């Protein structure tokens, strides 16, 4: 089957050469690259509009916590020069406008099928490709399937008795109602992760009463956001090459790189001076621009955690509340660090109450609100900021079946197994973009996404040039990569975390244990791993030509 851009050839072959599931940051760039290569490709988007997480997350306070100008795509010099960011950390509406601009700028929209919820994706060994069943009954086939499902796109509500009984308005943050007016309302927010932190800071003083139900506190640090002036934007545009070069060399893919000086060889006075500077600086510098040893050495981590704890005590007027907001079960940076704007000051409002669920757990949700062991909290609105079935959840919600009908969710029952975070043995012609075990999770997402998509594009160019019809990975290569992921965890304090970085979510049955979900070796190392595999003739991958797949006719082979 020889394909170029244009109408698909339906005479016996699949409907499309490529199908991408998802049209967010990752899916849009993958779509652009494949169209640029002249391939027959469409993207299936579950929602009515593009943007993925930036389409769905419309809650108050939703914004970047990485610098806007490093979050945007870097592949087009023209795009970089024509787009102006208004803030150092852009809010959701601006980000969504940017992504729509990108889609129109590169004519991607005609190749996206909206309102297309994929229920199942089954590899047909006889046809040598994938069959997708959609929620509306449509059936689509393709030779190669690419997933751009999003890391945090499978929302989870808590398992609380009576949750369906509440007579007021309730919803997960992922489903924030458009046009919702909370003026004069009694609002309860359950959850204090990154999303909850942003919402609480935004709503404090804006609603009649705000009750925050906290299971465990997180270490948070100031975002220190500010507008980008015209002069600053011009300076940024002139320096994009240097900015992205800097991002390429840091472990997190951000402009913030670690201080590699041995922690204990730096004087206490110097350490404090650096920490004060970082605390007053914008972005993730406080986490990623700090001493490297803070994420590796327990004594160093404890000392810095004490520094942040003192900051919390100074910002929260009530000392009892302040202590409840200081984590006791993990050190700073072991979980993902929420960046905030006025979060701690929110608790200085008379209308805001912190409910410590470790002391007074929720008994039930009833018709009028939340009942804890300490009493009843009557509410008009309940907001569930209870997070997501991270990374693998979006895969579990689609019935992926590989060769011999093996279900992906069964193969991953004890945790994901992948090769390079991109392929799964026994699931031919499936390439994951930003999936588990890739660097997309623990690093600057768009920078890592461009790495993964570009690598996949080169892989497909190799496939087309040699006329292959099937890609799989060697089971031993998958086992070795999965073991490599586990070994990386053991070198960092992250291994002790109970967070979505370690696949922990008490609201999901079976996820009360550590699962190794992310690549923690840093973006440069991950990029080297990918490059070395490609340079070695795609070591660990198994390719098949048409004559090795007898049921395919020569006319069904993929050519360049």
d(C-alpha 513, C-alpha 460), whole Å: 37
Which regions of 261-325 does DSSP assign to beta strands (E)? Answer: none
Residue 351: CB atoms within 10 A of its CB come to 16
Residue 224 scores a pLDDT above 50: yes
pLDDT at 328 over 70: yes
DSSP 250: S
Distance CA 388, CA 153 (A): 7
Domain with CATH 3.50.50.60 in the chain: 16-50+108-154+390-556
Tell me what pLDDT residue 458 has: 98
Q: What percent of the chain has pLDDT over 70?
A: 95
Q: What is the mean pLDDT of residues 543-556?
A: 69
**How far is Cα 550 from Cα 358, in angstroms, rounded to an integer?**
62
DSSP string across 361-385: -EEEE-SSEEEETTEEEE-SEEEE-
Treating both helix axes as pointing N-terminal to C-terminal, what angle do 445-466 and 240-249 enclose, rounded to 10 degrees? Answer: 80
Number of alpha helices (DSSP H) and beta strands (DSSP E) in the chain? 18, 20
Q: Are 186 and 381 in contact (CB under 8 A)?
A: yes
- Please state whether 107 falls in left (phi above 0), alpha (psi between -120 and 50) or beta: left
Average pLDDT, the chain: 93
What is the structure's pLDDT at 20? 98
Q: Is the pLDDT of residue 497 over 90?
A: no
2 DSSP 8-state letter: B
| Contacting residues for 207 by C-beta, under 8 A, at least 6 apart | 182, 183, 184, 185, 186, 187, 351
Write down the pLDDT at residue 8.
42
> b vs e for 25-52, b when ≥16 Cβ sit within 10 Å of the residue's Cβ?
bbbbbbbbbbbebebbbbbbbbbebbbb
423 phi, psi to nearest 5 deg: -130, 155
**CATH T-level fold of 16-50+108-154+390-556:** FAD/NAD(P)-binding domain (3.50.50)
Percentage helix, strand, coil for the chain under 3-state DSSP, each rounded to 5: 35, 20, 45
Answer yes or no: is pLDDT of 1 > 50: no
Give whole-number Cα distances, 412 to 370, 408, 511, in Å: 36, 6, 12
Mean pLDDT across 349-361: 97
> Band of the pLDDT at 14, cuts 50, 70, 90?
very high
- The answer on pLDDT for 10 being more than 80 is no
List of residues 6+ apart from 256 with CB closer than 8 A: 250, 283, 284, 285, 287, 288, 289
Query: Where does the pLDDT of residue 550 fall: very low under 50, low under 70, confident under 90, or very high at 90 and above?
Result: low
Nearest CA-CA partner of 227 in 65, 69, 86, 342: 86
Q: How confident is the model at residue 2 (pLDDT cuts 50, 70, 90)?
A: very low
Q: For the purposes of burial, counting CB atoms within 10 Å of the CB of 104, is it exposed (0-12), middle (13-18) or buried (19 or more)? A: exposed
pLDDT of residue 448: 87
Question: Three-state DSSP class for 90?
Answer: coil
Read off the pLDDT of each residue in 403-410 and give the average, rounded to a whole number: 96
Compute the average pLDDT of residues 328-348: 95
- How large is the average pLDDT for residues 493-499? 77
- Judged on CB neighbours under 10 Å (0-12, 13-18, 19+), 363 is middle
Mean pLDDT value across residues 226-236? 98
Confidence of residue 495 (pLDDT cuts 50, 70, 90): confident
**Calpha distance 552→126 (Å, rounded):** 8
Angle at 57 between CA 254 and CA 331, to 5 degrees: 50
pLDDT bin (cut points 50, 70, 90) of residue 508 is: confident
Residues 6+ apart with CB under 8 A from 104: none
Q: Which residues pair with 140 in a beta bridge?
A: 132
Q: Is the pLDDT of residue 50 over 70?
A: yes
Segment (H or E) for 19: strand 16-21
Length of the chain equals 560
Q: Indicate the pTM of the whole model.
A: 0.94
Q: What is the distance of C-alpha 22 from the center of its chain?
A: 13
Calculate mean pLDDT across residues 84-92. 98
Residue holding tokens 């806007």?
68
Q: Is the pLDDT of residue 442 over 80?
A: no
Tell which residue, 24, 207, 44, has the closest CA to residue 121. 44
Which is more confident, 502 or 76? 76
CA–CA dist 140, 556 (Å, integer)? 17
Output the pLDDT for position 6: 37
pLDDT value of position 260: 95
pLDDT band at 470 (very low <50, low <70, confident <90, very high): very high
């Amino acid at each position: 089957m020889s394909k170029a851009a244009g109408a698909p050839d339906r005479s016996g072959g699949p409907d499309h050469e490529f199908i991408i599931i998802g049209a967010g940051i990752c899916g849009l760039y993958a779509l652009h690259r494949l169209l640029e290569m002249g391939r027959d490709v469409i993207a299936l988007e579950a929602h009515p509009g593009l943007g993925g997480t930036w389409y769905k997350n419309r809650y108050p306070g939703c914004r970047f916590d990485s610098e806007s100008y490093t979050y945007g795509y870097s592949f087009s010099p023209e795009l970089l020069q024509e787009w102006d960011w208004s803030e150092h950390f852009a809010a959701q509406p601006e980000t969504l406008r940017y992504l729509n601009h990108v889609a129109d700028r590169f004519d991607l929209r005609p190749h996206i099928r909206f309102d297309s919820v994929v229920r199942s994706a089954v590899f047909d060994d006889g046809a040598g490709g994938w069959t997708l069943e959609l929620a509306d009954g449509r059936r689509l086939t393709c030779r190669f399937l690419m997933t751009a499902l999003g890391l945090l796109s499978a929302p989870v509500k808590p398992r609380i008795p009576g949750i369906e009984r509440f007579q007021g308005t309730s919803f997960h943050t992922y489903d924030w109602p458009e046009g919702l007016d909370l003026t004069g309302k009694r609002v309860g927010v359950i959850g204090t992760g990154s999303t909850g932190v942003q919402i609480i800071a935004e709503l404090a003083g804006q609603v009649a009463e705000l009750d925050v139900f906290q299971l465990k506190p997180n270490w948070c640090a100031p975002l220190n956001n500010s507008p980008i002036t015209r002069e600053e934007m011009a300076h940024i545009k002139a320096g994009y090459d240097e900015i992205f070069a800097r991002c390429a060399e840091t472990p997190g893919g951000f402009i913030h790189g670690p201080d590699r000086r041995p922690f204990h060889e730096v004087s206490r006075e110097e350490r404090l001076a650096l920490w004060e500077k970082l605390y007053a600086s914008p972005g993730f510098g406080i986490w990623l621009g700090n001493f490297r040893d803070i994420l590796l050495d327990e004594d160093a981590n404890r000392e810095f955690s004490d520094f942040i704890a003192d900051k919390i005590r100074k910002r929260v007027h009530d000392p009892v509340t302040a202590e409840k907001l200081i984590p006791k079960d993990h050190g700073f940076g072991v979980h993902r660090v929420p960046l905030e704007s006025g979060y701690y000051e929110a608790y200085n409002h008379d209308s805001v109450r912190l409910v410590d669920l470790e002391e007074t757990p929720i008994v039930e949700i009833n018709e009028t609100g939340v009942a804890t062991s300490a009493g009843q909290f009557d509410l008009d609105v309940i907001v569930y900021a209870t997070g997501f079935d991270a990374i693998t959840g979006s895969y579990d919600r689609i019935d992926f079946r590989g060769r011999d009908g093996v279900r992906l969710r069964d193969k991953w029952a004890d945790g994901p197994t992948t090769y390079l975070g991109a392929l799964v043995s026994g699931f031919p012609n499936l390439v994951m973009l930003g999936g588990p075990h890739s660097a997309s999770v623990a690093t600057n997402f768009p920078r890592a996404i461009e790495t993964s998509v570009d690598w996949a594009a080169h892989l497909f160019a190799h496939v087309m040039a040699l006329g292959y019809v099937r890609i799989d990975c060697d089971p031993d290569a998958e086992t070795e990569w999965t073991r490599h992921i586990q070994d990386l965890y053991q070198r960092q304090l992250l291994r002790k975390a109970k967070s979505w970085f370690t696949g922990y979510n008490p609201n999901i049955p079976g996820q009360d244990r550590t699962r190794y979900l992310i690549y923690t070796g840093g973006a440069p190392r991950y990029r080297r791993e990918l490059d070395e595999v490609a340079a070695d003739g795609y070591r660990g991958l198994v390719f098949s030509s048409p004559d090795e797949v007898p049921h395919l006719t020569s006319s069904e082979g993929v050519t360049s």
